Structure 1
Amino acid sequence: MSDVAVHTNTYSAWYDFKEITKMRLSISVVFSSVAGYFLAADTIDWLVVALLSVGGYFMVGASNAYNQVLERDLDALMDRTKNRPVASGRMSVSTALAIAIVFTILGLGTLWYINPQTAMFGGISIFMYVLLYTPLKTKTPLSVFVGAFPGAIPYMLGWVAATNDFGIEPGTLFMIQFFWQFPHFWAIGWFLFDDYKKGGFAMLPTGKRDKGTALQIVLYTVWTVLISLVPAFGVTGDLFLSPISAIVVGALGLFMLYWAIKLYQNRDAKTAKRLMLSSVTYITLLQIVFVVDKFLR
């Protein structure tokens, strides 16, 4: 075999691995988990950070691999997903399933080594994403509600990894990321509406790109920002946000809310995409602000 063929095969295998595990999404989830850990830990144990990162990646990668096996026929219908490894036929179902199963075992084992509660929540995340959220996507807009549960687990998972306990602090982190997902995924559902329609996915709350959907996006954005500010009032145990950091988080929230309101006014794909990008900016910077605020106090 020529050097060019070896290079091409290696590149293809790496590309397919990134696609089957949705590497960028998995890394963003790991980022949330590590942020949650930093918020809870009195002293940073870098071994736990490494285990949480690796275990978290395995769990998200497994969920995505299962998802692409179950939705392979629907993925093939949509422009956004038709080049995925299983949908395109480059990877067999058995190979994708093997990756998913191995990742599940390795992920649960890694998180269990940290503590049992972390592994339990990781297992719940896979179960809800694969067996509840995935099949509901073609049946009801409530799938976004169901999917928000596993999607909100990573941020609180880091806290549980640090403390082996679930209380008001990780519960608050869970609620922040839970409500955030509605405007985020509805924005995606809006600008990818036609493509999702090809696959039969029902993502928007009213099923249409109308004022009803846009209004709900605005309302859930407001709820997201308000819940994000609750730690500033000293009612969430050891999770606290200083007044200055609360102002920063509030300003970030107003930026996201601006685009939600603009979507209500314009109701177009371009504005929906900007809202999606602003939501990613919001949750990323919020997590950074929370961690920086803790270490500067």
Structure 2
Amino acid sequence: MKTAVGTAKQRTLTLLFSEFTEITKARLAVSVVFSALAGYLLGADQISLVSLSLLAFGGYCMVGASNAYNQVIERDLDALMKRTRNRPIPSGRMSVNSAMTLAITLTVLGVFSLYLLNPKTSMFGAISIFLYTSVYTPLKTKTPLAVFVGAFPGAIPFMLGWVAATNEFGIEPGTLFMIQFFWQFPHFWALGWMLDDDYKKGGFKMLPTGKKDSGTALQIIMYTIWMLVISVIPVFGITGKLQLSIPAAVIVFLMGLVMLRFAFALYIKRDNATARKLMLASVSYISLMQIVYVVDKFI
């Protein structure tokens, strides 16, 4: 009897954990936390495990809260799309009240955790939630400019880590912000290209021209070039304490060229398979670039 009760509790906990990871988009949240930790390591003179833990916990809470609010707001639209109809709310596995309670709890925990680091970090985290849920999310069904607006909260994490470590905002975190800001466009437009038919079912306008055409592909190329240029700017010694050695800059540049190659390929082929390759290349680029930056600082 005890074994059966224990098994039932274990299954319940497993289901709750599964719903939690879905409503907070755990994989996305972890990648955002990774960016924030990379920014922290770049800015810190001395590494504090307590600070790293607060940043990781607070960062996850903030991203998780944003995603939960987003799924509450878009629950009816999510039900129309194949890729989202099985999310916790549209599938009926989680109530709107439960999702809102979770989102509010994560917001409070996230703001408080980041405040323990310093008020600036908490402020930028709160701004990120506000922009994502109150501006970006409603705009997705109204204008392709939503991606531009969404790029602001999306670019905050890399910068946030530096601010968490230094309690300062200047050219260094500004540069980190700009790298991830311009990266957002080829990444999300490649994703939007792949999922365009599904997005249209929900009324989302994600591509800059509204179509999978040469205009969209050309803009992807342009933003990829801007991303690549800004990613190597620290090698010229004009970004304050944020430095990049020549070998590291060459590595970052070559990785960017790989991503640019897929962008040009999309312009030529204009198919979903190539868009998927670009999307995967963009995910690899942002993570590897951050690793190169951090490793370069410490060697």
Give the secondary structure class of the aligned counterpart of 1:88.
Answer: coil
Offset from partner CA, 1:69-104 (integer Å, 9 cap, x none): 000000011111111101111100000000000000
Corresponding position of 1:70: 73
Residue 240 of structure 2 corresponds to 237
Partner of 1:260, secondary structure, is helix
Code of the residue aligned with 1:102 in structure 2: it is T
Find the counterpart in structure 2 of residue 184 from structure 1: 187
Distance of 1:76 and 1:12 partners within structure 2: 21
Matched, 1:111 2:114: yes
Q: Distance in 2 between matches of 1:277 and 1:14?
A: 27
Q: Distance in 1 between matches of 2:107 and 2:16?
A: 20
Matches within 5 A, 1:58-207: 58-207=61-210
Counterpart of 1:228 in structure 2 is 231
- What's the CA shift for 1:8? 3.5
- How high is the TM-score relative to the length of structure 2? 0.97
What are the residue-to-residue correspondences of 1:243-258 with 2, within 5 Å? Answer: 243-258=246-261
Amino acid at match of 2:227: T
Matching residue of 1:52: 55
The equivalent residue for 2:216 is 213
Runs of 4+ displaced beyond 6 Å: none
**1:3, CA displacement in angstroms?**
5.6
**Cα deviation 1:29-65 (Å, max 9, x = unaligned):** 0000000000010110110000000000000000000
- What amino acid is the match of 1:245? A
Distance in 2 (alpha carbons) for counterparts of 1:2 and 1:115: 45
**Cα displacement string for residues 252-295 of structure 1 (whole angstroms, at most 9, x for unaligned residues):** 00000010000000000000000000000000000000000000
Unaligned runs of 5+ in 2: none
Q: Distance in 1 between matches of 2:90 and 2:245?
A: 48
Aligned counterparts of 2:115 and 2:74: Cα–Cα separation in 1: 29
Classify the secondary structure of the residue corresponding to 1:123: helix
Query: Does 2:26 correspond to 1:23?
Result: yes
What is the percentage of aligned positions where both structures have the same residue? 65
| Residues 113-168 of structure 1: per-residue CA shift (max 9 Å, x gap) | 00000000000000000000000000000000000000000000000001101000
Counterpart amino acid of residue 258 in structure 1: R
Structure 2 equivalent of residue 259 of structure 1: 262
Would you say 1:40 and 2:43 are equivalent positions? yes
Q: Deviations over 1:212-238 (max 9, x none)?
A: 000000111011000101101000000
Q: What secondary structure does 2:89 align onto? A: helix
SS for the counterpart of 1:87 is coil
Paired letter, 2:290: Q
Query: Shift of the alpha carbon at 1:5?
Result: 4.3
CA RMSD of aligned residues (A): 0.9
The separation in 2 between residues aligned to 1:103 and 1:7, in whole angstroms, is: 24
Q: What corresponds to 1:11 in structure 2? A: 14
Q: CA–CA distance in 2 between the matches of 1:185 and 1:87? A: 23
SS in 2 for 1:170: helix
What residue identity is the alignment partner of 2:181? F
Amino acid at match of 1:197: K
User: Which amino acid in 1 is paired with 2:173?
Assistant: P
Q: CA deviation at 1:7?
A: 4.0
